[in-house]
A and B are shown apart, each in its own frame.
Chain A
């Protein structure tokens, strides 16, 4: 048993008052959860403290909330750990090491209904419905089951593991900037169908998500959703898979998201560091300096994005003007460029997806080592890595 102070962001819509903070003292074993702490406060002190909860075991997805600023599930976060984190945060900003409180807030990027209860319908669920979230097979179902690669089912089981708690949506920085962004949860849901060999609308789904200005290319790779997800779904990884599949399917997106990504890859392969003078042109008209001529559309878009580039220069985001002059960009010294190429080669040869249903826990180096040492174990389960490698 230990004593904790939890500081809860409260909002009682019928009171006419603005949101406010309230502290509760609770007493419980450090291995119990933040949700257990909230429920104790509710049971003992104030039954009006509203928090959605049901399973207490991180499977129903009800209790998404922010704990010390981090989105996650109240039931999955041990209160002792939450206290340690609160202490760490306080000491980082020079606060006292003792008497720090655990700060609990409703999820972000969603309207608050009452206390920790948010309106998921108008945000989360509306976005989920946006991705046509049901299987679209072609023709009659077979007499028995669909015969599919076993790995393909393991592959999409990672996104099936999503419990729709909203923690990723709460933490999404892109959605903060663009509330219309389809978002990590809905795009992970989309991958569940795109990756499903039984679904016959793969190309239509990818085109739809690539063409939407708030679609797959709206993600900025910030990893917040990966950190927030309590189930290892790694929504950002699913978004990257969608992008890769869109690229493989030759889907030309008006956002030029795919060619912009490829521009980074190609420039660095060639030069070792990012030659910004080539970025714009490589993104919209790849190969213009080489043998290919840009299409009309590419030229139009390239010109269309000049104001963005100029804004970059004006605001000082791009500080060194010579960088914009083609040909000025320095090369890597000595044989370093060959090393970059070796890295590319290695990456291409080891193109593995990280899927918890195959690999085990992150930060479990021993498991990874054992896997390498025991290839004979493969008869237990074919790894998804082989499959993914062939996917490119």
Chain B
């Protein structure tokens, strides 16, 4: 049985940072990822990473912007840690080799981003996530003796011992289909969000909520699963992301009459208000007939000097050209709000610890919570690095003081039986997995999106529960061992449905409008009743709801305007 002091599942930014932080403590580390690490979705983070590194800026200002951006649902102790440690982390990444943009003096230069009171976003053109992730992967290759990489291993279950502590995982080697039990003293989930529940989404096909569902099934609490970010600038239909950096560079949002409509909704910050605010503004324009016939508004990047576009927004030039047939240097591009980010996730403390001893979570899979009701742009990369680091260190410290606990072989038998069951379903025994995924995505995007109400969410929840039943008999075509993506897709569908159920239950429960959760039937924020986190725990009857306090250190809730 392969065994490591610390096992990390997922190899995006959070996972790779956690693995490196754990290895620094001298423990043996394994990092397991269902795709090759550089395929991870952290790649897609284009715009940059926030830090109050400039001498004129303060971490308190960054923290306050984040608190305000979260609509006061973020936990301020966690936000303080993130904002305070951000500058050091940026410098650490720079020292490792990230090719951050420089100003004329050769020092790190910044760009402006949404919801921020200073230009504190550090960046590499518009490939910031990719650049940082590839540099971290360079480090994984460098430290290959301390960190074993399991590339293309699909994890399906957590092993919990008789004391209720996490002691390993069951994972499948994609290349040959062999199922194995891996032993560990600490397990860190870094599997990303659950965006594939929505269709369209900016999220990659691999973002199927694996870690959220695995933790939930093992008994960990989920938190604030109703908080789902719709990004203001995505391509209609395909869901591709246009970075907020475009607006940071000066691009304008216009309705079909050519009006810069953000004047009405956020007269001070305009296009650079918080994402939830901008997405609602766009959706309102579209709903009230001031959008284009394809259900969009326009993003005009032509106002940015061409030279600057090529240097700072080249990825967007390519996205426009390849996926929309638009030359963004010459004409506006049509965009709309689209599913983008899971603010909720597995409930953790500031060291990444979940409710299950030995189980950690970091990055989008986790809910620390630094993003609360709405994440600020360029705070997600920061979240992955800061809490990846904390999780890695604490997981290593735990491993150093903990004895080995041998996982029971039963968990492997159960997983093998689950796989055999899926493999045994013949064509026609039920629906195709792909059909169920499509119905799920369309349902969520129409009922649990920018604007929500009780009737719609209830309808979505009923659909999800029907799909959960249908998934039990859904069939696949591939019954082989080698690279069986069909089988993995069926398992992922189960993860997605668990996450979707949690998001619906949370959205139904929160009877107020805060951050990304806008209830047309409860249009006001209600601090008296709802300044609290919604926790969900798995039972046979579905998610059981409880609440936890929001940690407030120095910023009392105020009215939120931009």
Residues of A within 8 A of B99 (CB): 153, 156-157, 160, 196
Q: Do A358 and B94 have beta carbons less than 8 Å apart?
A: no
Binary contact readout A7-51 vs B (1 if CB under 8 angstroms, 0 otherwise): 000001110000000000000000110000000001110111011
Residues of A within 8 A of B103 (CB): 150
**A196 CA to B310 CA, complexed, in Å:** 21
Q: Which one, A133, A137, A162, contacts B138 given CB within 8 A?
A: A133
Asked if B303 is at the interface of the complex by the 8 Å CB criterion, the answer is no
Q: Do B151 and A146 have beta carbons less than 8 Å apart?
A: no
Asked if A61 is at the interface of the complex by the 8 Å CB criterion, the answer is yes
A146 with B95, Cβ < 8 A, contacts A163-B130, A380-B305 known: yes
Q: Do A157 and B125 have beta carbons less than 8 Å apart?
A: yes
Residue of B nearest to A159 (CB): B99
Residues of B within 8 A of A164 (CB): 38, 134
Q: Do B241 and A57 have beta carbons less than 8 Å apart?
A: yes
Q: Do A149 and B39 have beta carbons less than 8 Å apart?
A: no
Q: Do A58 and B38 have beta carbons less than 8 Å apart?
A: no
Question: What band does the interface of chain B fall in when counting residues whose beta carbon is under 8 Å from A?
Answer: 35 or more
Contact residues of B between 31 and 81, Cβ < 8 Å to A: 35-36, 38-41, 43-44
Residue of A nearest to B131 (CB): A160
Residue of B96, B108, B131, B311 contacting most chain A CB atoms (<10 Å): B311
A59 with B305, Cβ < 8 A, contacts A156-B99, A358-B311 known: no
Asked if A248 is at the interface of the complex by the 8 Å CB criterion, the answer is no
**A113 CA to B175 CA, complexed, in Å:** 8
How many whole Å from A162's CB to the nearest CB in chain B?
A: 8
Contact residues of B between 431 and 488, Cβ < 8 Å to A: 432-434, 476-478, 480-486
**A60 CA to B321 CA, complexed, in Å:** 18
Q: Which one, B97, B329, B434, contacts A134 given CB within 8 A?
A: B97
Residues of A within 8 A of B486 (CB): 47-48
Asked if B139 is at the interface of the complex by the 8 Å CB criterion, the answer is yes
How many whole Å from B160's CB to the nearest CB in chain A?
A: 30
Q: Do A120 and B36 have beta carbons less than 8 Å apart?
A: yes
Q: Do A134 and B142 have beta carbons less than 8 Å apart?
A: yes
A50 with B311, Cβ < 8 A, contacts A31-B325, A145-B91 known: no
Q: Do B102 and A149 have beta carbons less than 8 Å apart?
A: yes
Q: Do B205 and A371 have beta carbons less than 8 Å apart?
A: no
A53 with B104, Cβ < 8 A, contacts A58-B318, A145-B91 known: no
Q: Do B141 and A121 have beta carbons less than 8 Å apart?
A: no
Asked if B560 is at the interface of the complex by the 8 Å CB criterion, the answer is no
Residue of B91, B124, B306 contacting most chain A CB atoms (<10 Å): B306
A58 with B124, Cβ < 8 A, contacts A114-B483, A117-B483, A156-B99 known: no
Asked if A135 is at the interface of the complex by the 8 Å CB criterion, the answer is yes
Count CB-based A-B contacts (< 8 Å). 192
Residues of A within 8 A of B205 (CB): 53-56
Contact residues of A between 106 and 163, Cβ < 8 Å to B: 113-114, 117, 120-121, 128-129, 133-135, 137, 141-142, 144-150, 153-154, 156-157, 160-163
Asked if B107 is at the interface of the complex by the 8 Å CB criterion, the answer is yes
**A231 CA to B314 CA, complexed, in Å:** 10
Contact residues of B between 196 and 227, Cβ < 8 Å to A: 204-206
Asked if A241 is at the interface of the complex by the 8 Å CB criterion, the answer is no
Asked if A1 is at the interface of the complex by the 8 Å CB criterion, the answer is no
Asked if B489 is at the interface of the complex by the 8 Å CB criterion, the answer is yes
**A156 CA to B486 CA, complexed, in Å:** 39
Q: Which one, A14, A147, A356, contacts B481 given CB within 8 A?
A: A14
**A355 CA to B91 CA, complexed, in Å:** 26
Q: Do B38 and A163 have beta carbons less than 8 Å apart?
A: yes
**A358 CA to B307 CA, complexed, in Å:** 7
Q: Do A380 and B308 have beta carbons less than 8 Å apart?
A: yes
Asked if A76 is at the interface of the complex by the 8 Å CB criterion, the answer is yes
Q: Do A367 and B482 have beta carbons less than 8 Å apart?
A: no
**A181 CA to B322 CA, complexed, in Å:** 32
Binary contact readout B417-441 vs A (1 if CB under 8 angstroms, 0 otherwise): 0000000000000001110000000
How many whole Å from B1's CB to the nearest CB in chain A?
A: 23
Residues of B within 8 A of A141 (CB): 95
Q: Which one, A54, A114, A135, A154, contacts B206 given CB within 8 A?
A: A54
How many whole Å from A123's CB to the nearest CB in chain B?
A: 13
**A150 CA to B151 CA, complexed, in Å:** 35
**A57 CA to B482 CA, complexed, in Å:** 26
**A134 CA to B142 CA, complexed, in Å:** 7
Q: Which one, A56, A76, A135, A163, contacts B204 given CB within 8 A?
A: A56
Residue of B nearest to A15 (CB): B480
Q: Which one, B106, B131, B310, contacts A358 given CB within 8 A?
A: B310
Q: Which one, A51, A58, A60, A133, contacts B141 given CB within 8 A?
A: A133
Q: Do B310 and A144 have beta carbons less than 8 Å apart?
A: no
A160 with B127, Cβ < 8 A, contacts A54-B204, A145-B91 known: yes
Residues of B within 8 A of A44 (CB): 432, 434
Residues of A within 8 A of B139 (CB): 134
Asked if A78 is at the interface of the complex by the 8 Å CB criterion, the answer is yes
Residues of A within 8 A of B24 (CB): none
Please name 16 pairs of A and B residues whose Cβ atoms are closer than 8 Å in the assembled complex, sorted by A.
A14-B482, A43-B432, A43-B434, A47-B478, A50-B485, A133-B141, A135-B138, A144-B107, A147-B106, A149-B106, A150-B109, A153-B99, A153-B100, A231-B318, A377-B305, A381-B307
5 more A-B residue pairs beyond the given contacts A163-B38, A231-B318, with a C-beta to C-beta distance below 8 A: A53-B205, A54-B35, A57-B323, A134-B97, A357-B310
Instruction: List the interface of chain B (C-beta within 8 A of A).
Output: 35-36, 38-41, 43-44, 91, 94-97, 99-109, 124-125, 127, 130-131, 134-135, 138-139, 141-142, 151, 175, 204-206, 238, 240-241, 305-308, 310-311, 314-315, 317-319, 321-323, 325, 329, 432-434, 476-478, 480-486, 489
Instruction: List the interface of chain A (C-beta within 8 A of B).
Output: 12-14, 31-32, 42-44, 46-48, 50-62, 76, 78, 113-114, 117, 120-121, 128-129, 133-135, 137, 141-142, 144-150, 153-154, 156-157, 160-164, 193, 196, 198, 231-232, 356-361, 367, 370-371, 377, 380-382
